Amino acid sequence: MSTITIFIAVIAVVGYLGFQGIKSFQLRSLNTGLRNKDSDMVDRVAKMGVSQKLLGRYVCDLYRLRAYYITRETDKFEQMLRHMIESEYPDPADKKSFLETYFHTFLIKQNRKYADWLLDAIRKTGDEKFIRYNEQSYAVMLDGKSDLIESMVEDINSKKYYGFALGVILFMVAKQYSYLGDSENELIYLQTAKSCFHPKAVYMPVVDKWLKDAEAGA
């Protein structure tokens, strides 16, 4: 290997390590701001050009949204939520993930106002499968519907859904059985829903508490 080749390889490694070091520093700063509930710090770091370039605009926007949420700065949170709903990001999957996560967060919290904003954006995706399960979830969680069991079970059996979406559908079937007072089917679907969710999914605290309460009352 020539001296020039070795030199270029060393420069590349140094550059990569420097890139990763700066990226890690920016992430630590953002996470520190969240832990300390310091929205000013998060906002400042997220708006830096280096953060936007290394972490991406989507990640920076998410940190700002989360900071305003946990510090309960309602006006700033709503402005940022609207901004993210109306924005397009390089990877369409990021936008869908944001809509899905926050939509279900506000279903759980029974916040119809924010859920309406997000459902409107979900409908604009044109993804019929995505729209269908989210509209049904809204009907169950916010409108108290209990007549969607058959159609949701058909969706489960269709094998069109998996992961988080499948877990949500199973959860919504369990919820409807709870409205109907059918505790046996309620628990069957709830336990199955839990197996579909990632441990950090927004529904997990709800599922765990629901199962704990059910076991205590058995």
Q: What is the pLDDT along the chain (218 residues), one digit of tens a residue?
A: 455 544 344 344 334 434 455 577 678 888 898 899 999 999 998 998 888 888 889 999 999 999 999 999 999 999 999 999 999 999 999 999 999 999 999 999 999 999 999 999 999 999 999 999 999 999 999 999 999 999 999 999 999 999 999 999 999 999 999 999 999 999 999 999 999 999 999 999 999 999 998 877 65
Closest CA to 104 of 67, 136, 76, 80: 136
Q: Give dist(CA 141, CA 177) in Å, integer.
A: 13
Expressed in percent and rounded to 5, the helix, strand and coil fractions of the chain are 80, 0, 20
Q: What is the pTM of this model?
A: 0.85
Handedness of CA 166, 120, 108, 218 (dihedral sign): negative
Picking from 69, 116, 125, the residue whose alpha carbon sits closest to that of residue 96 is 125
